[in-house]
């Protein structure tokens, strides 16, 4: 089977948000080096490894374009060039305060009030790179649960290879595998103080598109390139004239 690629947002390596997320998952997605959990993570080693096993394989990230195979004739270098070109047309985006929340049966970091520009940015990543994606195979459709989807979900899956896109997109950085409600509450509680400190000290900025690759089925995803977005344009504030 050919490699799969994905476009993610991941904070800069060794930045405060990256340190918190990567150490929580226990893996550096650039080198595949194992990382020790922070002292604030109050979980026994075996429980911690189990609840972070699924997201650890992908690395600390938010999905912008879900894993896909390249269509015939498209190279990794061609994909990277297109990603860099796209990044040059997008502006960095302040995500605002983040919080750990339960999404279905797993816990993730999400913006408390997603900026309106976020959906447009994510949609462009999905749509403008889609001509490079190989169509899903029958096995792919089965793996993504096509038979159980509603009509709109099936339409999105067949058109873009993933269901949580366009109006169904929600940016999230996964912190756990599927877990029970009691464990989810403990994960959320563990993140409450660290995420509040991060929000105050260094608000999270979506400033790059990160290219990840999975060399073969079930293998770990590696971060192989970052394409930097343009700095956000600051609108000057005009001085108000005071009436005499």
- Going by pLDDT thresholds of 50, 70 and 90, the confidence category of residue 1 is low
**In this predicted model, what pLDDT tens digit does every residue of 159-180 receive, in sequence order?**
999 999 999 999 999 999 999 9
DSSP for 114-148, written as a single string: --THHHHHHHHHHHHTGGGBPPPPHHHHHHTTGGG
Tally of domains within the chain: 1
Does residue 78 sit within a domain? yes
**Structural domain harbouring 203:** 4-228
Show the CA angle centred on residue 15, arms to residues 19 and 232, nearest 5°: 140
Does residue 241 sit within a domain? no
Does residue 158 sit within a domain? yes
What mean pLDDT value characterizes the chain? 94
**In this predicted model, what pLDDT tens digit does every residue of 116-142 receive, in sequence order?**
999 999 999 999 999 999 999 888 888
Does residue 165 sit within a domain? yes
Does residue 220 sit within a domain? yes
- Going by pLDDT thresholds of 50, 70 and 90, the confidence category of residue 237 is low
Bridge partners (DSSP) of residue 174 are 108
Q: End-to-end CA distance of the chain, in Å?
A: 75
Does residue 235 sit within a domain? no
Span 31-39, mean pLDDT?
Answer: 91
Does residue 204 sit within a domain? yes
| DSSP conformational letter for 111 | E
Q: Say which CATH number the domain at 87 has.
A: 3.90.1140.10
Strand, coil or helix: 203: coil
Does residue 237 sit within a domain? no
């Amino acid at each position: 089977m050919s490699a799969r690629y994905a476009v993610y947002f991941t904070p800069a390596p060794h930045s405060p948000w990256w340190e918190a997320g990567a150490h929580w998952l226990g893996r550096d997605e650039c080198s595949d080096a194992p990382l020790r959990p922070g002292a604030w993570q109050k979980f026994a080693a075996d429980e911690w490894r189990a609840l972070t096993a699924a997201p650890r394989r992908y690395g600390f990230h938010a999905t912008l374009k879900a894993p896909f195979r390249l269509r015939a004739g498209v190279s990794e270098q061609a994909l990277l060039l297109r990603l860099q070109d796209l990044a040059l047309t997008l502006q960095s985006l302040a995500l605002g305060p983040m919080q750990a929340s339960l999404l279905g049966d797993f816990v993730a970091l999400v913006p408390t009030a997603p900026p309106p520009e976020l959906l447009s940015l994510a949609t462009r990543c999905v749509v403008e790179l889609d001509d490079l994606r190989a169509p899903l195979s029958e096995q792919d459709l089965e793996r993504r649960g096509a038979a159980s989807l509603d009509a709109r979900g099936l339409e999105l899956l067949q058109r873009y290879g993933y269901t949580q896109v366009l109006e169904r997109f929600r940016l999230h950085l996964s912190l756990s595998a599927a877990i029970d409600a009691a464990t989810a509450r403990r994960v959320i509680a563990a993140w409450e103080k660290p995420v509040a400190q991060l929000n105050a000290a260094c608000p999270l900025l979506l400033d790059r598109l990160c290219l990840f690759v999975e060399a073969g089925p079930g293998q770990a995803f590696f971060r192989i390139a970052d394409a930097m977005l343009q700095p956000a344009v600051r609108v000057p504030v005009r001085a108000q004239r005071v009436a005499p």
